[in-house]
Structure 1
């Protein structure tokens, strides 16, 4: 199986450096797992364009997309996903959960406390590693 679904995720930080974590609702695949908000790329859409569109649709606010954090291919039992995650920050508005069950601002050093979707774990680990190298 070489085909995969390309998905982009946003690591959105607030002014305190906390990261926005989104809990998948009961109606979504992999319910009750945490993820970085984002979604599937549309045809001819860049990951950055996808994130701006998806965050506006899902959370009702505008983000500014920064550097790539992780590029991961994860094989679930029924699907293969390539997840690219990017540093992002709020440009305008405040996030409101429209599709997710809950939103949570969390310091990077507490992110392992949540049960993440498997494809999101490499990004969590990359954030923790980067923070430990900064200290």
Structure 2
């Protein structure tokens, strides 16, 4: 069975938000775009808005769906569904993550990413490069 998980690429002032998983989470201490599991009967967008509010205390608007990534881990398979998101307010309060950074896109490759997030980083950087040309 595949678990659907959404993640948000929240942009503000030319930077994107990345979060570090805590010591107690699977893929401990790796970096990811924040998000969470889609619950039964929930849309991807509703899930993302809820998860970002619960985990980070931020208000967002998903703007564009990017290419989902199917990733097999030892104990499960996830479909990670990324969205470019607009930041609408709120002050970050970490409830699950260890840390967060607002990162310039060119610095994203300096982080130790969860495997499912790596193709999303690549697609995001390609989109940014296309917008600049």
Shorter-normalised TM range: over 0.9
Q: Which runs of 5+ in 1 are unaligned?
A: none
TM-score (norm 1): 0.94
Determine if the alignment matches structure 1 residue 125 to structure 2 residue 129.
Answer: no
Q: Secondary structure at the match of 2:66?
A: strand
Q: Secondary structure at the match of 1:70?
A: coil
Determine if the alignment matches structure 1 residue 72 to structure 2 residue 69.
Answer: yes
Whole-Å separation in 2 of the counterparts to 1:131 and 1:29: 30
Q: Which runs of 4+ in 1 moved over 2 A?
A: none
Whole-Å separation in 1 of the counterparts to 2:26 and 2:45: 23
Q: Which runs of 5+ in 2 are unaligned?
A: none
TM-score (norm 2): 0.95
Of 92-101 and 36-45, more deviation after overlay is shown by 92-101
What is the number of equivalent residue pairs in this alignment? 132
Determine if the alignment matches structure 1 residue 112 to structure 2 residue 113.
Answer: no
Which residue pairs with 1:5 in the alignment? 3
